[in-house]
Amino acid sequence: MSAPTVVPLIAGEPVHSPAPGAEWWRHAVIYQVYPRSFADGNGDGVGDLPGVTRRLDHLKQLGVDAVWLSPFYRSPQKDAGYDVSDYRDVDPLFGTLEDFDEMLAGAHQRGMRVIVDVVPNHTSDQHVWFQEALAAAPGTPERERYMFRDGRGLAGDEAPNNWQSIFGGPAWTRLAPGEDDGPLGPQWYLHLFDSSQPDLNWENPEVRTEFEDVLRFWLDKGVDGFRIDVAHGMIKAPGLPDWAGKVAMVEGTDPGAPEDGATGAGNNGPMFDQDGVHDIYRAWHQLLAGYDGDRCLVAEAWVEPLSRLANYVRADEMQQAFNFAFLTTPWNAPALRTTVNVSLAAMDEVGAPSTWVLSNHDVVRHASRLGLSAEASAGPLNGIAAHDPQPDEELGLRRARAASLLMLGLPGSAYLYQGEELGLPDHTALPSEVRQDPAFFRTEGAEAGRDGCRVPLPWSADDAGFGFGPTAATWLPQPASYARYAADQQYGVPGSTFEMYRAALEVRHAHELGQGRLAWVEAYADSTDVLAFQVNDVVVVANLGESPVALPAEAEVLVASGPLGSGDGSGVADDGVTLPLDTTVWLRAL
């Protein structure tokens, strides 16, 4: 191999400057806790709020600014809590309202904010409203809270339209015959997800008032914000027209370098991203503005292109939106550069921070995704089964660390999914008998579903259940390999994934990268292998190519995602440092 040439890391003109505004959410690193899998306090094998409280010091040590908790509300758990039966109470599985207060106070004492999930598109079928609707006649106010319709055909026995559920199968379920049925027989109700998750009718003012009250309930408790589930789904096109397009939440990635940041991961069609949905967020913006502190709303909206996503974070709407275009961009330098540019430009247009996210509870963890061949990773991203092509765990971890360090260098707000700070992969061989995701059942196993990324965290290598709780019980089995990822194997260990994240967050804060200006390094501006940019006084260089990249000898390394090459054997002069493939480094700008 010929010696790589050292090129100066000189940045060009900034392509992004932070919008004015000192609010914490403009640059926060936010850690997603998936309560059932984070830490178990009572030994029943399911994580809970006391478990979260007990592990708050882990998050403090990591250095995150805020925690977002997935739902812990009362729920029959048909979709792991995204089927809420009481929005103002904690499910006994997770503890009590007092446990919530304690967790919130513990986080606040440690200087961390807390965001909770709100699921407004649908309730559980066990919610009192849906039970009332079932007991009521067609056309009554009880039915008007949901999306009930007569069927098509002379006997009303065909679904009102051809929409499919995101979890597979039809999006309509017909009620059992009742006394009040009209000539068309029992009505049908819409569920974009599982049949146990009926969609609410957001054209009905009563629904709006109810959710404003739910928001107030949690704001009064002191939460710092809300993550809005399926934020693009609440308003449907008038007349609910037929539509046979794709409804999958995460379909796959467009391997090209998308000009508009569209990777193929967005939902469209008459059930999503209707302009009317924005009125809801304008009202909620006002509601939050009535509270002290900088409370925020975060959109979970799988919409494309990024200019459509930006509509959700206009100045009078939400504060942030998850950047799924970034999550679904392949590990490819030009594609990532385009996504970063398009993301920053789209959000700058409306004065909002861009967010960055690589993993969450709905997708294969990036440590597994990035260990798949390009071909395999272009398929559905929401689960890997034993019979699917398996990720290369070592490659996946190396790339995941490089991708995370790249992400944490970007200005704006970054989301971490619990366990990624340990480098956790998915469980990619869960047996069918233990799977719980409704997507697995509704597709009759054609989709593995999302259980693989939801496996209980390993805290200590030598304890039963890897220290998830006081007993060996874990609601999903952990793979044996989780022993080597356990938190206690990583604390204070130089080079561990946890220590890399911790160091990166420390530098990110000290150098105010979240609030920074971003400029691409000129020499690599069009590189097909290397991504290099400067934010404030830090230069981030990621090598996605085959050949090592020579770094200026005088460069001071602040954090690296893996071992750097040196003069011996790497082909550069003795005092040279090289950046191996699939590695990211942060350098102090010269």
Strand partners, 415: 30, 357
Q: In a 10 Å sphere around its CB, with 0-12 CB exposed, 13-18 middle and 19+ buried, how is residue 68 labelled?
A: buried
CA–CA separation, 222 vs 374, rounded Å?
45
What is the number of the residue whose Cβ is closest to ligand BGC?
82
| Catalytic residue flag (residue 375) | no
Residue found by looking up tokens 């979709």 in the block:
79
| Catalytic residue flag (residue 506) | no
Least distance to ligand BGC from the beta carbon of 8, Å?
44
Residue 399 backbone zone (phi > 0: left; psi -120 to 50: alpha; other: beta): alpha
Tell me 20's DSSP state: S
Strand partners, 67: 31, 114
Tell me 279's DSSP state: H
Rg of the chain's alpha carbons, rounded to an integer?
24
Instruction: Choose, from 40, 91, 117, 229, the residue flagged as catalytic.
Output: 229
Which stretch of DSSP H or E encloses residue 416?
strand 413-417
Q: In a 10 Å sphere around its CB, with 0-12 CB exposed, 13-18 middle and 19+ buried, how is residue 289 labelled?
A: exposed
Tell me 214's DSSP state: H
**Tokens of residue 8, six digits:** 């100066």
Per-residue HEC secondary structure of 289-314 comes to HCCCCCCEEEECCCCCCHHHHHHHHC
Residue found by looking up tokens 């598109």 in the block:
121
C-beta of 79 vs 317, nearer to ligand BGC: 79
Query: Beta-carbon neighbour count of residue 496 at 10 Å?
Result: 18
CA–CA separation, 56 vs 418, rounded Å?
12
**Tokens of residue 589, six digits:** 């700008």
- ω before 305 within 30° of 0 (cis)? yes
Residues 6+ apart with CB under 8 A from 138: 148, 150, 180, 181, 182, 187
Residues 6+ apart with CB under 8 A from 213: none
Which stretch of DSSP H or E encloses residue 401?
helix 393-408
Least distance to ligand BGC from the beta carbon of 82, Å?
3
Instruction: Choose, from 125, 273, 300, 421, the residue flagged as catalytic.
Output: 300
Query: Beta-carbon neighbour count of residue 386 at 10 Å?
Result: 12
Strand partners, 188: 149, 174
**Tokens of residue 288, six digits:** 């939050």
- By the criterion CB under 6 A, which residues form the site for ligand BGC? 79, 82, 119, 193, 229-230, 300, 361-362
Q: β-strands 530-535, 296-299: how paired?
A: unpaired
**Tokens of residue 171, six digits:** 């999006």
CA–CA separation, 442 vs 111, rounded Å?
42
C-beta of 170 vs 178, nearer to ligand BGC: 170
Least distance to ligand BGC from the beta carbon of 415, Å?
12
Which residue numbers are catalytic? 229, 300
